[in-house]
Chain A
Amino acid sequence: MIAGTFTIAKRELASYLRMPAGWIIIMLFLLLTGAVFALSALVPGRPATMRPFFEACGWLLLPLAPAVSMRLIAEEARTGSLETLLTSPLSTIALTLGKLLGACLFLIVMVLPTLALPAILWTVSDPAPDLGPILAGYLCLLLLGLLYLSIGLAASGATNNATLAFIATLFIILALLLAGTLGRQLPSPWQDLLFALALPPRLNDFAKGVIDTRHVVYFVSVSGLCWSVATSLIAWKRWRDR
């Protein structure tokens, strides 16, 4: 299973890097986050912080992660290559895990060059920036990416239409971002549920440099849930009308 997962992940990552769209996403991300960093962190007299950079990354992931994930399964189903994959000696679990891993690797490739930014900040600022919020920021970015891509994987498994998968992913992410605001309008049990699901308080903690295990468990477990939904949807497709 592990070999199959890595084979799928490797092909997935290579396919992003073989297509102009993959490079455009990377360029856009680096250009915009770089600009935010230059305008916020490299201003004389201001404290050396990367908080605006991580906030910008969070907002940029909102459209970019669904753009990366929308094709994961929907495109395979549309072109028929899902038939090739599912008739190979490869388990459905290995397939979805490989797809998610491939998309996450692409995200890492996209974020990796930004490691130069804290290095720059380290060199030019006096006093040196606090390392805790920077490490927490990168961990948060990876967990947020994992969550968004997992949601995208599930949405992509539910339809053969990549555009529909993009819209559904965006909608679910916005619902998680606005869950707290919506929860305030609702009575107790619903309010508690929506507060528990809400993303912003967790992001705020990471921004302060606090790595709370509960938040890490939240990101990993919701991502795991979405991955298992995607896996079940593919298994269900075998029974459904073709």
Chain B
Amino acid sequence: MIEARDLHKWFGPVHAVRGVSFSLGKGEVVGLLGHNGAGKSTTIRMMTGFACPDLGSVTIRGLDVAEDRVRATANLGYLPESTPLYPEMPAADYITFRATLSGVPRRERASRVDRVIEQCWLKDVAKRRIAGLSKGYKQRVGLAAALVHDPQVLLLDEPTSGLDPAQVRETRELIRGLSQQRTVLISSHVLPEVEQLCSRVIIFAAGEIRADASLESLKRSGSRTYHVETRDADDATLNLLLDRWRAIPGLEQIRGDGLTREANPPRGKFGWRTWLLDFAPLDASPAGALADPREAIAQAALASGMVIRELRSQTRSLEQLFLSVLERAGEAERDGVAVRA
């Protein structure tokens, strides 16, 4: 549907985008993650044709954006980060203007405008001037204008920035609804948002793609941690328990809650101890490693005569995964190795 090939962009001496390549298939919802200045917005601008790549190319449905921008972008809906609008125009007039600009035939224009006004919950403010609307409504006007020509590809740059929590929730709901029939690329700082909406994540750092994987496989590529609370016991029983746990394939280290290195946790209140068991990422675990080792952890404790009060998986959030990918990429860079998840 849309493909970026070896994109490069220099801003004076700064090499802002360095050989970025990826493609988005039909119906995919992809999140673009990265710190400020990582090259996300520049990449999106090159995909829309607003900025020209110094090297590389972007094609939308087989049409090169640099060579035939007008035809290539006919099927593209774009919401820029700052949601620029014309404040003096009424919301409905602005959406109609964008529909005309996008080539929506005259006979269909009114019905399309009405439909997106309905879809983006703008009915109450459709006749009001944009200058008098709240930030949330303005964002929705921008989204409605990006949708009015029913594009198959949607590029949304920070679609919920500056919105209050209720507006964020509504906008996410709207995007979720839209993503069922379209290819959507969402650039965002807000990791939970990407986690909720996207099935695939592309992580940018220093102008390069550091990871491009499905959310599921990204999670599998991260280490797993299990939280266990056991009744305290004498040293011999504890040693027996630790030996049994260490025998579980894939276990990397046993540590106390709040500790980063292997060490037995201190005795807690009322004779309970809290352990954290770190397992290697599934894709880096030895053969026979369990996808979910909780049963093995519990059986080892029971066999050692220990009572377990709590056993749960500490699911790593996308934020932790994001940071670990950047950390690994940083380490690899220091070692002179490129990382691709």
List of A residues within 8 angstroms of B97 by Cβ? 7, 11
Pair B88/A87 contact, Cβ less than 8 Å = no
Pair B50/A89 contact, Cβ less than 8 Å = no
Pair A79/B84 contact, Cβ less than 8 Å = yes
User: Which residues B37-61 have CB closer than 8 A to chain A?
Assistant: 42, 45, 48-52, 54
Asked if B89 is at the interface (CB within 8 A of a chain A CB), the reply is yes
List of A residues within 8 angstroms of B51 by Cβ? 238, 242
User: Looking across the interface, which residue of chain B has its beta carbon closest to that of A75?
Assistant: B86
Among B42, B48, B52, B86, contact of A87 (Cβ-Cβ < 8 Å) = B48
List of B residues within 8 angstroms of A44 by Cβ? none
Which residues of B pack against A, CB within 8 Å? 11-12, 42, 45, 48-52, 54, 69-71, 73-74, 76, 78, 80, 82, 84-86, 88-89, 97-98, 100-103, 145
Asked if A88 is at the interface (CB within 8 A of a chain B CB), the reply is yes
Q: Given A238-B52, A239-B52: A90 and B88 within 8 A (CB)?
A: no
List of B residues within 8 angstroms of A87 by Cβ? 48-50, 73, 76, 78, 80
Minimal beta-carbon separation of A187 from chain B (angstroms): 41
Asked if A214 is at the interface (CB within 8 A of a chain B CB), the reply is no
Among A4, A18, A238, contact of B101 (Cβ-Cβ < 8 Å) = A4
A226 to B12, CA, bound (A): 28
User: Which residues A41-86 have CB closer than 8 A to chain B?
Assistant: 79-86
Asked if A204 is at the interface (CB within 8 A of a chain B CB), the reply is no
Pair A88/B73 contact, Cβ less than 8 Å = yes
The 26 sampled A-B contact pairs (Cβ below 8 Å) are A7-B97, A7-B101, A11-B86, A14-B89, A15-B88, A18-B88, A19-B88, A80-B80, A81-B84, A81-B85, A83-B84, A84-B145, A87-B49, A87-B76, A87-B78, A87-B80, A89-B69, A89-B71, A89-B101, A89-B103, A90-B70, A90-B101, A238-B52, A239-B54, A242-B11, A242-B45
Asked if A3 is at the interface (CB within 8 A of a chain B CB), the reply is yes
Of the four ranges (under 10, 10 to 19, 20 to 34, 35 or more), the interface on chain A belongs to 20 to 34
A88 to B99, CA, bound (A): 10
List of B residues within 8 angstroms of A3 by Cβ? 100, 103
Asked if A163 is at the interface (CB within 8 A of a chain B CB), the reply is no
List of A residues within 8 angstroms of B88 by Cβ? 15, 18-19
List of A residues within 8 angstroms of B76 by Cβ? 87
Q: Given A89-B102, A89-B103: A84 and B84 within 8 A (CB)?
A: yes
A81 to B78, CA, bound (A): 12
17 extra interface residue pairs, beta carbon distance < 8 Å, beyond A239-B54, A242-B45, A242-B50: A7-B97, A11-B97, A18-B89, A81-B84, A81-B86, A82-B84, A83-B50, A84-B84, A84-B98, A87-B48, A87-B50, A88-B101, A89-B69, A89-B102, A89-B103, A90-B70, A90-B101
List of B residues within 8 angstroms of A19 by Cβ? 88
User: Looking across the interface, which residue of chain B has its beta carbon closest to that of A7?
Assistant: B100
List of B residues within 8 angstroms of A91 by Cβ? 70
User: Which residues A1-42 have CB closer than 8 A to chain B?
Assistant: 3-4, 7-8, 11, 14-15, 18-19
Pair B84/A80 contact, Cβ less than 8 Å = yes
User: Looking across the interface, which residue of chain A has its beta carbon closest to that of B94?
Assistant: A11
User: Looking across the interface, which residue of chain B has its beta carbon closest to that of A94?
Assistant: B70
Pair B74/A83 contact, Cβ less than 8 Å = no
A14 to B93, CA, bound (A): 11
Pair B49/A86 contact, Cβ less than 8 Å = yes
Pair A84/B80 contact, Cβ less than 8 Å = yes
A238 to B42, CA, bound (A): 11
Among A7, A14, A89, contact of B70 (Cβ-Cβ < 8 Å) = A89
List of B residues within 8 angstroms of A79 by Cβ? 84
Asked if A241 is at the interface (CB within 8 A of a chain B CB), the reply is yes
User: Which residues A206-242 have CB closer than 8 A to chain B?
Assistant: 238-239, 241-242
A100 to B264, CA, bound (A): 76
List of A residues within 8 angstroms of B98 by Cβ? 84, 88
User: Looking across the interface, which residue of chain A has its beta carbon closest to that of B101?
Assistant: A88
A79 to B131, CA, bound (A): 13
User: Which residues A87-124 have CB closer than 8 A to chain B?
Assistant: 87-91
Minimal beta-carbon separation of A13 from chain B (angstroms): 12
Minimal beta-carbon separation of B131 from chain A (angstroms): 10
Pair A238/B50 contact, Cβ less than 8 Å = yes
